[in-house]
Structure 1
Amino acid sequence: MNNSYIHKKTKALQFPSLLFVMLLLISSCETDDAQTVATFTDLVIADEFDTEGAPNSSIWTYDIGRGPNGDGWGNQELQYYTDRTENVKVENGFLLITAKEESFEGATYTSARLKTQGLFEQKYGRFEARIRLPYGKGLWPAFWLLGNDCDQNIWPQCGEIDVMEYLGDSPTKVFGSVHGPGYSAGEAETKEYSLPNDRFDTGFHVFGIEWGPEYINYYVDGNLYNQITPDDVSGEWVFDHPFYIIMNVAVGGSFPGSPNEETTFPQTMLVDYVRVYKNNRLN
């Protein structure tokens, strides 16, 4: 693995407040009828990944395996998720989620999927992470939220908020989406963000949302590029209850397709920090 990422990190916020930037940019944002949003300034949880070894067990747990039905988590993904240090660890101030090509428990790839389910869940707020993404056909990293009632209200009724999804063979683009009843999978409400004159696999970028009653705003490096409201979705708005965080690197599946002969392994998603803020009037 290329160790060029190892450096002394500056833990101060890398970008201005998302809300402040949003107010500056809102007049030029491509979305129409932008909402008046709350100010999310109260830091609720932050993982700066400063302790070597396994991720903080008071924040993170894991999904293990090929999915509840053994079908690649409903997406025909090819990896087996583990909690092994080969696939997930904290090192030099970063969380590393590594996809490997290897035979393991009947799968041909391994990776990791971390989640805060049962440990941290929140309704509304600002959720952000600073990440460097991997590269290669068939890689599908994501930073996303899932409704905490999915055991009772089966997906997509519980709701899904994709803060960032990325296809490894399109290194200049990410997607921000929501899934709910009537607008899920290929019918999700989504928008693409293209990085000008740069790539997401060569440096770190901050991906975030600001989520309040009847709106979710999407940002890359403080740039507001998407807003989703109840008027934008073709079904029920289900984003009014707590959600938990998921971070993973999938391999293959219905969205990215399979790796090809040019995809090299291992491939690692590096996470500098994860931070969540709230507004006490809303939370």
Structure 2
Amino acid sequence: MALVAMQAAMAQAPGTAAPAREWRFGDTPVWQDEFDYQGAPDPARWGYDLGGTGWGNHELQHYTDQLGNAFVEAGVLAIVARRFKRAGQTTYTSARLVSRGKGDFLYGRIEFRARLPVGRGTWGALWMLPTEQHYGRWPRSGEIDIMEHVGYDPGQVHVTVHTQAYNHTIRTQRGKQARVDDHATKFHRYRVDWTPDWIRGYIDDAPVFEFANEGTGPDAWPFDRPFHLLMNLAVGGDWGGAQGVDPDAFPAWMEVDYVRVYPLLQP
């Protein structure tokens, strides 16, 4: 079946309750990066978000496309947040890699194998945003956070979604947490399974979070449009910097062993 026709067949009409369907995923990725090369992240798969605007969260870092902030070595992608002293002020640089326009997906199993940063003030994330803001600006078009970790709460990993109806600004955010005490010394698998009926989050195949499609429309479920992948390491911010930033924690590293996207199959 053609992709557009298959997606139409999978779609759920607004205002209808989610049917009981057993979804399956393919065994072979439709998109992946195994980081089996050296140097800069593959430009066919990854672009960069650049700048130091605070990124809506009063973050401190300036995102760059420099090798010092994102590079592949020994089969692993490293995203490194660094501290600099300039003109008597402390500044930070880091990287935010995006697959927008190079890897955009509607439904599927998305998995990262990663080792997470340490240090108060670090805020690492593996997540997804809509490629086009079809339903409007954040949070109307949605956000899927596959893994978030703030350094002042080491080992507490968060899986979250944001929508117009469910987000932290109105105290209705939907998410769950799980302990990963060796998050910084060992690689773990962080994934979501995304279908027309639900989004489920897992750590090392253990279920952590589920968010169901209520069938009430895009305010609650904007997840029927293509999304792209993001990987970034922020510094400070409303959440990451809630207990301050330890300047001695930098450089701080987040490492990713692979990224794989598996297709959703018809039930």
What TM bracket, shorter-length normalisation? 0.7 to 0.9
* Structure 2, unaligned runs of 5 or more: 1-19
1:214 lines up with 2:201 in the alignment: no
TM-fit CA distance, 1:232: 11
Distance 1:63 1:249 in 2: 12
Judge conservation of contact 1:88–1:112 (CA < 8 Å) in 2: yes
Structure 2 partner of 1:247? 231
1:138 lines up with 2:121 in the alignment: yes
TM-fit CA distance, 1:170: 2.0
Structure 2 partner of 1:27? none
Distance 1:83 1:210 in 2: 30
TM-fit CA distance, 1:230: 2.6
Q: After superposition, what is the alpha-carbon deviation per residue over 1:93-135, rounded to whole angstroms, capped at 9, x for unaligned?
A: 1100000011579871100000000111011000001000110
Q: After superposition, what is the alpha-carbon deviation per residue over 1:141-172, rounded to whole angstroms, capped at 9, x for unaligned?
A: 00000011128721111110000000112222
One-letter code aligned to 1:236: A
Structure 2 partner of 1:182? 165
Judge conservation of contact 2:25–2:265 (CA < 8 Å) in 1: no
Q: 1:191 aligns with which of 176, 198, 209?
A: 176
Q: Percent same amino acid among aligned pairs?
A: 40
Structure 1 partner of 2:93? 110
Three-state SS of the structure 1 residue aligned to 2:238 is coil
One-letter code aligned to 2:43: S
Structure 2 partner of 1:58? 44
Distance 1:159 1:115 in 2: 16
Taking a change above 3 Å as real, the CA distance of residues 193 and 146 of structure 1, as seen in their structure-2 partners, is same
Taking a change above 3 Å as real, the CA distance of residues 275 and 160 of structure 1, as seen in their structure-2 partners, is same
TM-fit CA distance, 1:279: 2.6
Q: TM-score, normalised by structure 2?
A: 0.84
Three-state SS of the structure 1 residue aligned to 2:55 is helix
1:160 lines up with 2:146 in the alignment: no
Judge conservation of contact 1:41–1:279 (CA < 8 Å) in 2: no
Three-state SS of the structure 2 residue aligned to 1:271 is strand
Distance 1:86 1:277 in 2: 31
Structure 1 partner of 2:4? none
Distance 1:45 1:252 in 2: 32
Superposed, 1:44-55 pairs within 5 Å as: 44-55=30-41
Q: How many residues matched?
A: 243
Taking a change above 3 Å as real, the CA distance of residues 73 and 261 of structure 1, as seen in their structure-2 partners, is closer
Q: After superposition, what is the alpha-carbon deviation per residue over 1:9-38, rounded to whole angstroms, capped at 9, x for unaligned?
A: xxxxxxxxxxxxxxxxxxxxxxxxx97332
Distance 1:107 1:262 in 2: 9
One-letter code aligned to 1:88: A
Q: After superposition, what is the alpha-carbon deviation per residue over 1:210-249, rounded to whole angstroms, capped at 9, x for unaligned?
A: 1101200100011111111134999421111110000000
Taking a change above 3 Å as real, the CA distance of residues 172 and 92 of structure 1, as seen in their structure-2 partners, is same
Larger deviation, residues 229-238 vs 140-149: 229-238
Q: After superposition, what is the alpha-carbon deviation per residue over 1:170-204, rounded to whole angstroms, capped at 9, x for unaligned?
A: 22210000011122244321111123xx3211111
Tell me the C-alpha RMSD between the 2 structures: 2.4
Judge conservation of contact 2:144–2:160 (CA < 8 Å) in 1: yes
Structure 2 partner of 1:16? none
Taking a change above 3 Å as real, the CA distance of residues 65 and 121 of structure 1, as seen in their structure-2 partners, is same
One-letter code aligned to 2:23: V
Structure 2 partner of 1:15? none
Q: After superposition, what is the alpha-carbon deviation per residue over 1:51-70, rounded to whole angstroms, capped at 9, x for unaligned?
A: 1000000000000002xxx2
Judge conservation of contact 1:95–1:270 (CA < 8 Å) in 2: yes
One-letter code aligned to 2:35: F
Q: 2:79 aligns with which of 84, 87, 97?
A: 97
Judge conservation of contact 1:80–1:104 (CA < 8 Å) in 2: no
Three-state SS of the structure 2 residue aligned to 1:110 is strand
Distance 2:190 2:28 in 1: 18
Distance 2:160 2:116 in 1: 18
1:43 lines up with 2:40 in the alignment: no
Larger deviation, residues 144-153 vs 257-266: 257-266
Distance 2:94 2:30 in 1: 28
One-letter code aligned to 2:22: T
